[in-house]
Chain A
Amino acid sequence: MKRSLLHNLRILLGAALSAALLQPSEAAAHLVTTGMGPVYDGIGHLLLTPEDLVPALAMSLYAGMRGRAPGRRALFLFPLAWLLGGFAGLSASGTPTFPLPAISFLLLGALIAADLRMPDNIFTVLALAVGIMHGFFNGIALKAGPSGLGLLGIMAALFVLVAIVSAFVLSLKPPWARIAVRVAGSWVAAMGLLMIGWFFRGQG
């Protein structure tokens, strides 16, 4: 009897899952729709949008290059700044026309390529500025879709991303590995320059 109840429950669970999977999701132009809710949509947006993902990776690389203390600051402040910028973006009315993300590509890429040392406080300001700026653009983009919960998803994904990437860079011991990171930085800076060019050409 007990087994039969369990069996029926399994069938019911399977049917409920099938019904949930068949439920149509909403159309969302220009946004990533995972179908798993706004938090995952936000995570998907970050991971599938190179304009956001590359600077986030670059920030993590640079944080790792600067050492443990800046890495810890970036781990907590960068996602938080992104979230705050995102909430500001949600309530913004217009979209900035200048390609600010391209500037962060160029700046972060150049900092990594040059392996530039800077005081921890300036690094903190940099992490906050980059986070707020990209979060602001995210907020504008997510307004029509997952909005606030999407931003929370992005913040969580950023926390994990910064933790993994910066810890990885910190752990690199061979000199050539650090050089590889610097070469990657030069690529990011090069992309930034090209993005500015595409913007002025009108194809960005």
Chain B
Amino acid sequence: MEKYSGHMNFLTWGLAFALYLAWPASVLAHVEQGQAVGFITGLEHPWSGLDHVLAMIAVGIWGAQLGNPALWILPVTFPMVMSLGAMMGLLGIPLPGIEIGIAVSAILLGTMVLGEVKPKLYIAAVMVGFFAIFHGHAHGTELPAGQSGLLYSMGFVIATGVLHGIGITIGLIHRWPAGKLALRGAGAFIAAMGFVFLWQAVA
């Protein structure tokens, strides 16, 4: 009888669980439509252009080469000024030579990494911030219709931060002599790619 009772108990709760699974969802008109897609679109966007990816990683690597406090000031500066550039685009304020600006950012940031250039902190921050405007203006304004602007922005900013994080993580090899050389090689590669982007922008 006890065994039977145990089975019945299991059946009862199993039935309740099955009913729960079959429970009809309430009608939610217009709720959360395009929300997740907006976040994913924003998350994907910075990865869609190699010029943007390389420049972001260069910022992280350069920050790692410069050490504290540039290590975190540059990645803090970039997204804030980048958003300012995106806001300019959203407000319809034109910015000439965006593609050229992005290409030059890869060239100069790559050169800084290649040469392990260590300017004063404010000069590094102004330089990174200046180029961030071009990147923001180019990428921050492309929200597909019907998607959430806020979630797109969240995805966009987080993805940019992750790219900086990747650059900083790569830059951690700076502590070893071979790592220093490898970073300088990466800087040369980024600068060379910057020239390719510049050629594509001008041609």
Contact = CB atoms under 8 A, between A and B. Distances in A.
Given A21-B19, A27-B27, A29-B28, A194 B156 contact: yes
A183 B5 CA distance: 58
Contact of B149 (A10, A187, A195): A195
B15 interface: yes
A68 interface: no
Contacts of A25: 26
Interface stretch (B77-85, B95-103, B175-183, B186-194): B77-85
Contact of B72 (A22, A30, A179, A189): A179
Contacts of A31: 28, 31
B161 interface: yes
Contacts, number: 137
Interface stretch (B6-14, B105-113, B120-128): B6-14
B31 A194 contact: no
A189 B83 CA distance: 9
B interface, over-half SS? helix
Interface residues of B toward A: which range?
Answer: 35 or more
Contact of A194 (B9, B19, B83): B83
Contacts of B90: 194, 197-198, 200-201
23 contacts: A7-B9, A10-B8, A11-B12, A14-B12, A15-B12, A21-B16, A25-B26, A27-B29, A33-B26, A50-B150, A54-B154, A182-B76, A186-B75, A186-B79, A187-B79, A190-B80, A190-B83, A195-B153, A197-B83, A197-B86, A198-B143, A200-B90, A203-B149
Interface of A: 3, 6-7, 10-11, 13-15, 17-18, 21-22, 24-33, 35, 48, 50-51, 54, 110, 113, 179, 182-183, 186-187, 189-198, 200-201, 203-204
